[in-house]
């Protein structure tokens, strides 16, 4: 692999990381904005926390060892592991006959932690991309 394609491969890897983290930031914001939704528009019950699933993008080198070259979002899936929150509120319009309201499985502190992690990962990828651009500029100056 030559230097030029190596530089661009690093830039592509950073860009894929930024794109994936941006989607994670959007999902965290959606989770926080739906933290009190006890009934979805389709009547299916409370909002469920959403999670972003990532996977590694591997090189397509034929006959050589594959190497990681980026990341991609495989999808956004509902968190079916964390239990929904049940609260006794007899006067709530979505309370069941026993007066129990089921709220989303969202904890603001966990969401804020995820948000901080995603923002820092985005910034790290942006810094790496900037470094690749600076290296390419230096290489062009040297080549002149």
Give the whole-angstrom CA distance, residue 67 versus residue 53.
20
User: Quick count: other Cβ atoms within 10 Å of Cβ 61?
Assistant: 11
**Residue 86 pLDDT level (bands cut at 50, 70, 90):** very high
Q: Give me the pLDDT at residue 132, please.
A: 85
pLDDT tens for each residue of 97-138: 999 999 999 999 999 999 999 999 999 999 999 988 888 888
* Mean pLDDT of the 3-29 span: 87
pLDDT band at 2 (very low <50, low <70, confident <90, very high): low
> Where would I find the beta strands (DSSP E) of 15-136?
50-58, 68-78, 85-88, 100-103
d(CA 17, CA 25): 12
**Residue 6 binned pLDDT confidence (cut-offs 50, 70, 90):** low
């Amino acid at each position: 692999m030559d230097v030029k394609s190596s530089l661009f491969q690093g830039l592509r890897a950073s860009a894929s990381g930024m794109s994936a983290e941006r989607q994670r930031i959007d999902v965290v914001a959606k989770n926080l904005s739906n933290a009190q939704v006890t009934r979805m528009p389709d009547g299916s019950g409370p909002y469920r926390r959403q999670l972003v699933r990532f996977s590694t993008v591997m090189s397509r080198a034929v006959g050589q060892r594959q190497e990681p070259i980026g990341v991609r979002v495989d999808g956004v899936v509902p968190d079916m592991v964390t239990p929904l929150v049940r609260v006794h509120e007899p006067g709530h319009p979505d309370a069941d006959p026993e007066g129990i309201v089921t709220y989303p499985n969202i904890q603001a502190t966990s969401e804020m932690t995820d948000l901080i992690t995603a923002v820092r990962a985005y910034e790290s990828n942006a810094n790496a991309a900037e470094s690749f651009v600076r290296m390419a500029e230096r290489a062009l100056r040297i080549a002149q």
